[in-house]
Amino acid sequence: MAKETILVVDDEADIRELIEFNLDREGYQVMTAATGEEALSMTQHHKPDLIILDLMLPGIDGLEVCRALSSYEIPILMVTAKSEDSDIILGLEMGADDYITKPFSPRILIARIRAVLRRNRKNSDLSIELKKITLHGIIIDPARHHVSSEGKSLDLSVTEFGILEFLMRNPGWVFSRGQIIESVKGNDYPVTERSVDVQILALRKKLKDKGSIIETVRGIGYRLIEEV
């Protein structure tokens, strides 16, 4: 499995080569740029997973690059010889996710890169989890814990909400009662499979004419019909 692509931006060739060597050894895909202008152009054409950015660059400096890339939602790790708090704070306010000062240990740099990428993956996963789901005229808003059908709010219990959200995230897939319990309540939750039938029945009633979108698959469990 290919690892993330990292863009290294530094006007010093020796620093670029040092960072590239260590990243390559860790299995990352590496691109390099010597100027801010080059970094912006490369980012537009080949969006990297992370940017290692020197603040002291000729032409467009690192802070301007941070500002220009703020809408790309790419994590940025600043590498700078500056150690003044004001420079670090300004860089973070411009959109950088972390910083490391020169001279630095390659091992510390790799650790910082892993930490930034890990945080970014978690944030991406959370963003997906909180994204609204729309299907069959039903809208689920996980962030607000709100469900509406044809514009009318539905009053669902926590368990009913969890079941509907799970099924709507996986339309067309058949799930056993045990899988539905696990998805909503987690492993080893003391709920009988019969209770899932009761919850499904209550959910169908609240969905009214749309209750039929939750289909019983005899001998297996339930599925939510795919939208045609």
Evaluate if residue 186 carries a pLDDT over 70. Answer: no
Secondary-structure class of domain 133-224 per CATH: mainly alpha
Per-residue pLDDT, averaged over 101-119, amounts to 88
Give the pLDDT score at 128: 56
Contact 202, 160 (CB under 8 A): yes
Name which residue leads in pLDDT, 219 or 188.
219
Q: What is the pTM of this model?
A: 0.56
Give the pLDDT score at 1: 44
Least confident of 16-25, 63-72, 147-156, 169-178: 63-72
- Strand-strand pairing, 146-149 and 29-33: unpaired
CA dihedral 141, 146, 149, 152 (to 10 degrees): -130
Per-residue pLDDT, averaged over 196-225, amounts to 92
Contact 200, 163 (CB under 8 A): yes
Burial 88-118 (b: 16+ CB within 10 A, else e): beebeebbbbbbbeeeeeeeebbebbeebbe
Q: What is the pLDDT of residues 13-36, one digit of tens each?
A: 999 999 999 999 999 999 999 999
Nearest to 176, CA basis, from 127, 131, 219, 115: 219
Distances (CA, A) of 104 to 18, 117, 131: 11, 19, 39
> What is the band of 50 on the pLDDT scale with cuts at 50, 70, 90?
very high
Say whether domain 5-129 belongs to CATH 3.40.50.2300. Answer: yes
Evaluate if residue 91 carries a pLDDT over 90. Answer: no
Give the pLDDT score at 228: 63
Per-residue pLDDT, averaged over 159-173, amounts to 90
Name which residue leads in pLDDT, 101 or 30.
30
Q: What ranges do the domains of the chain cover?
A: 5-129, 133-224
> What is the band of 149 on the pLDDT scale with cuts at 50, 70, 90?
very high
